[in-house]
Amino acid sequence: MKAIDVEGLTKVFRARAGDVKALNGVSFSVEFGDSVGFIGQNGAGKSTTIKILFGALTADAGEARLMGLPSDQARARKGVGYVPENPYLYDQLTPREVVQSGLRLHGFRGEEVIKRSAEWLERLGIAYAADKRIRNLSKGMTQRTALAHAFALRPKLLVLDEPMSGLDPVGRKEVADLMQEYRQQGGTLFFCTHILHDVERLADRFIMIDRGKLEAQQSVAELLAAQELMVVRYLGEQALPGFENDGGSLWRAAVAREDLPKALADIQRVQGVTLDVLPQASLEGLFESVVKVKAS
Ligand SMILES: Nc1ncnc2c1ncn2[C@@H]1O[C@H](COP(=O)(O)OP(=O)(O)OP(=O)(O)O)[C@@H](O)[C@H]1O
């Protein structure tokens, strides 16, 4: 059984201005224990895929299975944590009520509901506002409430549609740390983001879609390891051939993998300090090249 299994998913939105093919035969799967970043430009079809997985939309063709069950069955969602893009929470409720009702809906009862909700409101940094009404909370606080609601389930699968949106830099770091912890404890993570660095640090694998079609699917480590050129930066008083000044006493150069040992030895010889050696192309480069090729 797979956590997520999508086969030939197709969805057309009919509109007066013309039909929009939001998904055009998308297939992929997510194994238990995987952490997958789902990326693509605005309008690529990410949220549409997730909405179909959670039964909020029906596909025109293809199949979507969540936890081994067809996604239109409510049973498929039991015990699965989900935070949609711009979560809508009843604004008469309080964060505590939202988290507690979510837990009850997923079968938790009694003390466990009280304990878990208190723990996760605290961990998401909104314990201080736990009993205020949602309508009086900021966007970031609402997002934190929705995240607390999903994490509190200690789900086998956690699906987050742009989990960092609406959060300040400190909030982003806190949520990234929680996602990392969840992943290290064996959780299955599937998240949409525009922040490619989050995929590089939080995912084992990424799936890229563009205009409703799957464009690339690869492990992050493989992508980075396949790079032939490495960017080397060092701090030193002496310039080495091939290196250009990067401000003050900083020097940088793109060095072929096979020339790396010599470059590092040269830096040492001139008493420089190597600052970093990083693959030149990143997920960002790949992303841009896919988008550019299709646009031209
Ligand atoms: N309810 C709808 N009615 C008509 N068109 C829609 C509807 N929902 C989505 N679309 C269109 O389907 C396409 C895919 O949208 P989707 O929201 O899945 O993209 P996305 O990858 O999640 O984008 P973003 O990164 O901006 O959230 C877009 O062209 C969008 O305008």
Q: pLDDT tens digit string along 7-30?
A: 999 999 998 888 999 999 999 999
Q: Which atom of ligand 1 is nearest to the CA of 162?
A: 27
Regarding whether 197 and 236 lie in a shared domain, the answer is no
At residue 228, the pLDDT reads 78
What's the pLDDT score for residue 295? Answer: 58
Considering the domain architecture, whether residues 269 and 141 belong to the same structural domain is answered as no
Residue of 48, 159, 210 best suited for mutating to test ligand 1, as the one with most atoms within 8 Å of CB: 48
Q: How far is the CA of 47 from the centre of ligand 1 (A)?
A: 7
Residue whose Cα lies nearest atom 7 of ligand 1: it is: 13
Asked if residue 43 has its Cβ within 6 Å of ligand 1, the reply is: yes
Domain shared by 183 and 233, yes or no: no
The CB of 35 under 6 Å from ligand 1? The reply is: no
Identify whether residues 205 and 238 lie together within a single domain. no
Residue 14 CA, ligand 1 centroid: distance in Å: 12
**Residue 293 has what pLDDT?**
59
Q: Same structural domain for residues 212 and 255?
A: no
Are both 169 and 31 inside the same structural domain? yes
- Average pLDDT over the chain reads 91
99 lies in the same domain as 163: yes
Identify whether 52 is part of a domain.
yes
Does 149 lie in the same domain as 83? yes
Q: Is 92 in the pocket of ligand 1 (CB under 6 A)?
A: no
- Let me know if residue 293 belongs to a domain: no
User: What was the pLDDT predicted at 159?
Assistant: 97
101 and 199, same structural domain?
A: yes
Say what the pLDDT of residue 237 is: 95
Which residues of the chain fall short of a pLDDT of 50?
none
Domain encompassing residue 144: 4-223
Q: How far apart are the CA of 43 and the centre of ligand 1, in A? A: 5
Q: What confidence score (pLDDT) does residue 281 get?
A: 65
Domain assignment present for residue 215? The answer is yes
Split into its structural domains, the chain has a count of 2
From 207, 223, 239, the end of a domain falls on 223
Q: Are residues 19 and 116 in the same domain?
A: yes
Residue nearest to atom 31 of ligand 1 (CA): 43
Residue 96 belongs to some domain of the structure: yes
Residue 59 lies in a domain: yes
Q: How do residues 258-281 score in pLDDT, each as one tens digit?
A: 899 999 999 999 999 999 888 776
Residue 193 and residue 150 share a domain: yes
Instruction: Check whether residue 188 and residue 53 sit in a common domain.
Output: yes
Q: Is residue 110 in a domain? A: yes
Distance 209 CA to ligand 1 centre (A): 12
Position 134 in a domain: yes
- Best residue among 23, 26, 47, 53 to mutate for probing ligand 1, ranked by most atoms within 8 Å of CB: 47
pLDDT, position 278: 81
Q: Which residues, including other chains, have CB under 8 Å from residue 63's CB and lie 6 or more apart? A: 5, 6, 7, 8, 9, 70
Q: Is residue 252 situated within a structural domain?
A: yes
CATH number of the domain encompassing residue 41: 3.40.50.300
What is the reported pLDDT for 254?
Answer: 87
